[in-house]
Structure 1
Amino acid sequence: PFVMFLLGPIYVFMLSYRLPLGYGSDKPSVRNSVALTNLFLALLLAGIVVLFGVKTLLFVYLPIQYLAGMMGIFLFYVQHQFEDVYWEHDPRWEYLKAAMEGSTYLKLPKVLQWLTGNIGFHHIHHLAPKIPNYLLPRVQEEVDLVKVAPTVTLKDAFKIAFADMHLYDEESRKLVGFREAHRRLRETQGKKAY
């Protein structure tokens, strides 16, 4: 939770997304997109300072951005890190299983469902990303296929966020915590030593 809630928003939104590194960074279109986004963000921040002052930037705009980033990371995390999640390598990876067992239906209260643009129907997004967000509730209601995805409530989501499930153990096919992964690694190394 410390990394997710405190460091995650800073790293992901203020550093990682601002640098043209990683996937697609060898493409000029990706580098240009990042540079253009950074330019517009710099202009936005400068505009806020000129119109409203540095205090508004530091005590209103940046905290709102930080909280929004925290919520985004939280929502993404709890929809992909849960007990019995499906993770698989090529060539055994299956599209339908990945969509229905590798992400959840995060059942949110109607107000939060609307405020998040129906992000709780993440399993449907993985199955058919071209379905517009306003149709996702209807798909969930009318299509039996999508009803098999694990359902997580907001209360469950907070339990998941604070659970000790950070790493995927390929042998047991379960998420485990760092201590458990370290223990299993020591066991494995001990067996190999004999």
Structure 2
Amino acid sequence: MEEMNIREFSRRYTKKDNAIAWRETVVTVLAYAVFIALAVAYVHVWWVVVPATVLAGLMGVRIYMIQHDCMHGAFFTSKRLNDVLGEVLSPVSLSPYVATKYNHNLHHAFVGNLDHREAFEIDIMTVDEYRNAPILRKLWYRFYRSRFTLLVVGPFVLYLILRRFPRNGIKTGVKWVVLHDAMVLGYFAFMYWMAGWAGVLVLLGSIYVGSTFGAVIPYVVHNFEQVYWGRKPEYTYQKGALEGSSVLRFGDWFDRLTLNIAYHDLHHLNANIPAYRLKHCYEESGDLLHSYEIGFFEAMSCYGWKLYDEEAHKMVRFSAARLPGAAGTPAE
């Protein structure tokens, strides 16, 4: 009953406001353009180009968040306007709109469902699966789940290379993938035409910052120790949404930068809530919503959780797979 109550309550906040949506879009795109231009103009002045490139990368994250809301049809009142803007923003977000929209909706449909992990954004194995896996699979999974992969190189490779050939891209339409990749190539060509290789390097730097920073969000909100994963018939969509997602409490500046995506359990419960109303809905929900809140330091510790223990109902470290009943042993 409580889950139904919060779901019904959340519907009060699903009204779209085109004026707010346009304001957020214009401010974000202008800020991104200014920081990119500033970095290019002062490319030989390190104390200007470095912070300008970082800020451009962070604005790139915000542009992706706008695109993300468009994927859910939650930003503007018009479905067509959501789709057009989502496609137009794709060269900056480096996310082909149509394929990413399809894949992201699968992620929402099966959040916390162990029987549909192919829709999850981060590969996850259970303790039993890891114990019984071939050695090469174990080695690959360890490399994949390492901090080096998840934080240093993985996000950059994902956005710059892998998303040029997105999962389900053939199913959702090759023409849209080709269009998106042509737009990305055109953006790089424009930067080269404007500022030579210095412009390209500034763009790559902003992409590295944006992809690395942005990748922390989906990882942490779904990879905390007490996260829920289940199988039917015990699994339900609402349980997966509310207990398979957390809330990041990184401060007001973080909420503004990321368009409130930190309130992720509520977003998964009702993706029709526009980003600009999500925090307000969360704050007004009172006792209806029992979120698992994560601060900055706990967020960094989340990278130590590697496997899901179905018996203990929590994430554990690799050391838990050594012997049955060892979940919770110290990190390796």
Which band: TM-score by shorter chain? 0.7 to 0.9
Does the CA-based 8 Å contact 1:124-1:146 persist in structure 2? no
Q: What is the distance in 1 between the residues matched to 2:270 and 2:283?
A: 15
Q: What is the distance in 2 between the residues matched to 1:43 and 1:146?
A: 48
Q: Deviations over 1:114-149 (max 9, x none)?
A: 011111111111000010001011111112366301
Gaps of 5+ in 1: 188-194
Gaps of 5+ in 2: 1-146, 327-332
Q: Deviations over 1:9-67 (max 9, x none)?
A: 133212221114x3x3342x332222211110000000000111112212x11111111
Q: Judging changes above 3 Å, is the alpha-carbon distance between structure 1 residues 125 and 146 closer, same or farther for their aligned structure 2 residues?
A: farther
Q: Judging changes above 3 Å, is the alpha-carbon distance between structure 1 residues 44 and 84 closer, same or farther for their aligned structure 2 residues?
A: same
Q: Are positions 1:176 and 2:316 aligned together? A: yes
Aligned residues: 179
Matches within 5 A, 1:41-80: 41-58=184-201, 60-80=202-222
Matches within 5 A, 1:114-133: 114-133=256-275
Offset at residue 8 of structure 1 (A): 1.5
Does the CA-based 8 Å contact 1:123-1:146 persist in structure 2? no
Q: Judging changes above 3 Å, is the alpha-carbon distance between structure 1 residues 26 and 93 closer, same or farther for their aligned structure 2 residues?
A: farther
Does the CA-based 8 Å contact 1:140-1:146 persist in structure 2? no
Q: Deviations over 1:72-122 (max 9, x none)?
A: 111111101111110112333212211111111111211111011111111
Q: Are positions 1:4 and 2:144 aligned together? A: no
Q: 1:93 aligns with which of 235, 254, 270?
A: 235
TM-score (norm. length: structure 2): 0.51
TM-score (norm. length: structure 1): 0.84
Q: Judging changes above 3 Å, is the alpha-carbon distance between structure 1 residues 127 and 61 closer, same or farther for their aligned structure 2 residues?
A: same
Q: Are positions 1:157 and 2:299 aligned together? A: yes
Q: What is the distance in 2 between the residues matched to 1:184 and 1:49?
A: 55
